[in-house]
Amino acid sequence: MLGILLIVAHLLPAGAFVPLTQTLSRSAVSEQSLQHLVTPPSQQKRAVHQDSFTSFGPAGALLVGAAVGLAAAAARHKSHTCKRAISSTACRANPTAVFETSMGMFKAELFLDQMPITVSNFVDLAKSGFYNGVHFHRVIPNFMCQFGCPKAKDPMNPMAGTGGPSDGTSYEVLDGSGEAVTRRGGGNIPDEFTAKIPNKPGTLSMANTGRPNTGGSQFFINVNDNSFLNWYDSSTPSQHPVFGEITEGYDLVVQISKVRTNNRDAPFEPVMMKSITIEGA
């Protein structure tokens, strides 16, 4: 448990309030010890189920044919309904984010259908160029890569990890509702603890200070199965909602997590985000 708390404290933005671990000296914890305290990713097993078909004779064939016809009609009706309800995210594919870094490119699906408030915040910032020229300010192998602090445009800035969007700025939630969200309390957005999406390898998750509603622009990419960071996991006080998942270039992110770092886990050779382009939103 101590190991998990130390890792959680390390994930929070530098200088932030750290619940339950504020008496621990962060400088006394080496990168090497953190690596050993991280639980290796669990083996992800997926059971694939295949429907079995049995011959029922002519009468059964008629029933099956009727069922197939009804299903096809229902699908056509749903398609027409989706075309009419163009404002519904359920009828659109989720947007894709294309990350161009100084080490290469990777892509991620953004879960707009499940996390509209969080994804819309990210899309707004990306489209405004907020992330362009920002560096990864904390990378830990077998754990995660953290990014998104505007103060990390200077890769050596000791305050990297403490910044966020401008307070009072707003954005539209892209779910067709027309709702607008204003960033408060230092550029923060409301916690979106709705979809139970696990912090598994390749997922994008919101960083925060440990207090409610303190997420802004910073996020991290998991390179391990970090289930103890799930907002619905009561084993630790950490609550980090997932809002996307890498679909292309995951190996590059793992490579970034393994670069040589200093005592603040910042890369010695800066890794810069050249641009983030949003497709489909």
Segments making up each domain of the chain, as ranges: 2-39+92-279
Catalytic residue flag (residue 44): no
Among the listed residues 143, 147, 228, 243, the single catalytic one is 143
Whether 43 is a known active-site residue: answer: no
Catalytic residue status for 220: yes
Percentage of the residues of the chain whose pLDDT score is greater than 90: 67
**Position with higher pLDDT, 144 vs 59:** 144
The CATH architecture one would assign to domain 2-39+92-279 is Beta Barrel (2.40)
Q: Which of 142, 146, 224, 230 is an active site residue? A: 146
Residue 217, classed as helix, strand or coil, is coil
**Of 220, 222, 224, 230, catalytic:** 220
Q: Which of 199, 208, 218, 239 does the annotation list as catalytic?
A: 208
- Active-site hit among 114, 138, 147, 226: 138
Can 125 be counted among the known catalytic residues? Answer: no
Does the reported pTM lie above 0.75?
no
pLDDT tens, residue by residue, 25-82: 222 222 222 222 222 233 222 222 233 222 334 343 333 344 434 444 444 444 433 4
Give the per-residue pLDDT at 3: 54
Q: Is 137 a catalytic residue?
A: no
State the CB neighbour count (10 A cutoff) for residue 41.
15
- Give the tens place of pLDDT for each residue, 104-124: 999 999 999 999 999 999 999
Q: Map residue 49 onto helix, strand or coil.
A: coil
Report d(CA 159, CA 177) in Å as an integer.
37
> Which helix (H) or strand (E) segment is 257 a member of?
helix 250-257
* Active-site residue, 146 included: yes
Confidence of residue 92 (pLDDT cuts 50, 70, 90): confident
Known catalytic membership, residue 188: no
List, as own/partner pairs, every contact residues 98-102 make where C-beta atoms lie below 8 angstroms and the sequence separation is at least 24, other chains included: 98/276, 98/277, 98/278, 98/279, 99/249, 99/273, 99/276, 100/273, 100/274, 100/275, 100/276, 100/277, 101/252, 101/256, 101/271, 101/272, 101/273, 101/274, 102/270, 102/271, 102/272, 102/274
Identify the active-site residue in 10, 137, 183, 240: 240
